[in-house]
Amino acid sequence: MANPGFAPPKLKDFILTEKLGSGTYASVYKAFRKATDINWNADNREAVAVKVVSKKSLNKSSMENLLTEIEILKTVRHPNIVQLKDFQWDSENIYLIMEWCSGGDLSRFIRSRRILPESVARRCLQQIACALQFLHERNIAHLDLKPQNMLLSGNLLKLGDFGFAQYMSICEELRGSPLYMAPEIICKKHYDARVDLWSVGVILYEALFGRAPFASRSFAELEEKIRSAKPVEIPAGVRVSAECRDLLLRLLDRDPNTRISFHEFFLHPFIDLEHSPSAESLGKAKALVLLAVEKDEAGERAAALSLYCSALQHFVPALHYETDRQKKEVLRQKVNQYVSRAEELKALVRSDNRISFEEARSSRKILTEMSRDHPRLLAALEVASVAVAREESGAEDYETLDLYQQSLGEMLLALAAESQGRRREHLHSEIKSLMSRAEYLKELIKMREAQTDESLKKDSSAESVRSLSFDSAVSDPPKKSFMRSFSDASVNVSLSWSDMALLQTNHTEP
């Protein structure tokens, strides 16, 4: 048999073609399944990736890694984990026949764009989290998470290369890639599955800022940076949302005991697993939009707008999950009509709120005068005024939302310590008003993100992206009968990663 380093080996039922890469003891080839019947069509032949492992190169440790990889991949089936289709062996090699992922790996994807918009990084992280949640429930740790081990297929990100993975027990060996290793591994301390959370933090950092947080020229330099007590810093001049910043810093906590837990990670609002693409996405969206239509027809505009926004946050994942182009286009057209109605309601609700907002402004002035002896509350009121001014000037973005959240945090502390009286009454009223505005703004931001995401899949030009704002023309409001025309057919996504990142970079990230 030919040496896999020079010519593709021969494998029953498959034709091995180009070499995709090689590692310490394995090479990976693209391959095609051979014809099995007279109806075989060369254009539709199945592509796979074949990992060819030379038996001569395997020592005891690498053989254990390989057997672990086979054992784990044989038993797991998840859309965000590369599937092991089969494995074979002969006198010279062991062959792992893997699912083919045509989009390359996440490392190349990041390098080709230098940095990823936060919304694209979130989608990557959301899918990583889905895979990790599946593994965590089965007590499996990966132990070598890095962009090179994350493959792209269509719009799906899939974890691969489980050579270091194991059913968690006490570990003593140095495992994984140093740049993505948790401090407890590099410092040769006891470690457990929480090292995967650190690696996720490094990957998120690299996706957002184009480099790893401890990029080094040598292992010694990396170890020195890891051992330093200096906290991880967000690069100056780069805007990230408060939720993203919070998750990033909690993932990159050197102490595994204070690092974010898996439970907290899966529930974190930045990841937002509730709105990840799944078979349930369309059903959730339909249920919410039915309620929205009912509220809309009853004249309850604010409630209807809130429900339309919530529905859209499930409709877009449903579009990502759908693979049938015809169904996808029908669904997209229907969603666009709901978006148009939500845009219309936004203007109406803003008009409805004008009087109550004016009353709140007057109340805020009174509260400000009453708080001259309370510097922290006074500062919080000033921050709230800035947030309101930004929102009313059209800055409906995460920066404005962060200002609302900062001011509300201080005000809630002040309210807890405030004794009964007029100032407490005004403060309570102000908090309710600001919470209402913050929730309204958050829904609009989420809806705009969802609308942009959904619309970008249809047209890649920058001009069309700019034209798809909430100030665009609206269509007639939808009717109940329109909603009920949705097909109950099962759905399953199809936006290429290349198109998604290219298009996302054409709109300003919050």
352 among known catalytic residues: no
Is 74 labeled as ligand-binding? no
Specify whether the backbone of 351 is left (phi greater than 0), alpha (psi in -120 to 50) or beta. alpha
Specify whether the backbone of 394 is left (phi greater than 0), alpha (psi in -120 to 50) or beta. left
Specify whether the backbone of 139 is left (phi greater than 0), alpha (psi in -120 to 50) or beta. left
Q: How far is CA 118 from each of CA 152, 400, 414, rounded to the nearest angstrom? A: 18, 17, 33
Q: Name the catalytic one among 13, 86, 90, 144.
A: 144
CA triple 59-65-67, angle to 5 deg: 100
Three-class SS state of 375: helix
The DSSP output letter for 167 is E
Using DSSP bridges, classify how beta strands 26-33 and 150-153 pair: parallel, antiparallel or unpaired: unpaired
The token pair that represents 119 in the structure block: 């919304």
Return d(Cα 131, Cα 158) in angstroms, integer.
8
CB atoms near residue 153 (< 10 Å): 18
Are 98 and 160 in contact, with CB atoms under 8 Å apart?
yes
Tell me how many helices (H) and strands (E) the chain has: 17, 9
Return d(Cα 179, Cα 412) in angstroms, integer.
41
List the beta bridge partners of residue 186: none
Specify whether the backbone of 143 is left (phi greater than 0), alpha (psi in -120 to 50) or beta. left
Residue stretches of the annotated binding site for ATP: 51
Which sequence positions are flagged as catalytic? 144
Residue stretches of the annotated binding site: 51
